[in-house]
Amino acid sequence: MQPAAVPTDRNSDIASAVVATMRQLGVLGLPRNYEIFFEALSGSNHELSLAVVSLSNRPTQEDLDHIGRTFFPQNHGPAIVEHAREMVAKELEDIAALLRSERTHIEKYGRILDETSSGLSNRSLLSRDLLQKIAGAMSVATSSTLDHNRQVASTLSEKTAELESVKSKLEEYKRLADTDPLTQIWNRRAFDKEITRLYNSNRGILFNALILADIDRFKDINDRYGHPVGDRIIQIVAEIFQTSIRADMFVARTGGEEFALIVEGASEDATYQVAERIRVLIEQTPFTSSQTGMNYGTVTVSMGICMASEADSPEDLYSKADRVLYRSKVSGRNRVTRHSTMAGRAGKGWLLYKKD
């Protein structure tokens, strides 16, 4: 697929480019389609742009919805859940009908057994011919019942597989809804749920901590090199976070260039060492273009740490960690600051997705 050329005046003409591209490809003018092409043509998400470019010259709505579910799962949730509900309802109805049929067949088989039993109990009327007829009827009835049971078992197996498929799709949707599409780590929605979990009980709060991180001077990077380069830098920073921590630690992208790391079962000194190791790794990582070889210079992050025991709630924990992150910024950036070393100051709110 070759999208229509994006006009030079992006601020005023990108909407026209989106409409022109959608018309050229025969794409329906649905809001969810417009969102896909707007994000792709604006260049704010490189992975999305590649997905759109890979479409055929006449993409189907199914192809577009697949991209939408991948990059904007929060907007497709109701449709996915409703489709799953309809499928589950249909499968349960089919299973109920199957079980009713099974019951009818078993009752019929029971009547045959009763009739043959009555015939066998009257010894005076038994003869070889009658016994042969009874044996034949029993053989046919038993064979039919066994065949029916095998059919029921096979059908139930198919229904189970279909229900497992629905379950997998719902689990995949849940994963996508909690995953940041650019970096493939957890997103703000998942972070809000995880930080709330820390205060579900008082056990273990003493050795739980929150680290907030922010890429230094990120606006300058975007302004100088463009959003695609900025996106790539965010991806690399996310990779460093993810590969530098234990598997049981939770890391999320909570904003444009902001990250959060929840550390459990560690002292403040151990938590500080985790943050400092990540800070140094990011500072020492070369940020260059694999295509042009251009060096984008040193990228650094500022961090703030607050132990869960120093806060009264998830909101208070986030606010205090954000406060010390700000202190790292105003103190020269590229450093880690602990909440225990400074006085309080108001921070920003945290539960962007408190209501699901």
* Residues designated catalytic: 257
Q: Closest Cα to residue 342, out of 318, 317, 325?
A: 325
Q: Closest Cα to residue 175, out of 186, 164, 163, 191?
A: 186
What is the C-alpha separation between 237 and 299, in angstroms, rounded? 9
**Amino acid at position 69, single letter:** R
Q: What is the dihedral of CA 305, 309, 313, 316, to 10 degrees?
A: -40
- The length of the chain, given as a count of residues: 356
What is the C-alpha separation between 304 and 309, in angstroms, rounded? 15
* Residue 64 Cα distances to 1, 2, 23, 57, 109, angstroms: 13, 16, 14, 12, 53
The C-alpha angle 210, 270, 349, rounded to 5 degrees, equals: 10
Do 215 and 233 contact (CB within 8 A), yes or no? yes
Q: Where are the beta strands (DSSP E) in the chain?
A: 208-215, 250-253, 258-264, 301-307, 336-338
List Cβ neighbours of 175 (8 Å cut-off, separation of 6 or more). Answer: none
The encoded tokens of residue 180 equal 């940041």
What is the C-alpha separation between 112 and 275, in angstroms, rounded? 77
Strand order in the sheet with 208-215: 250-253, 258-264, 208-215, 301-307, 336-338
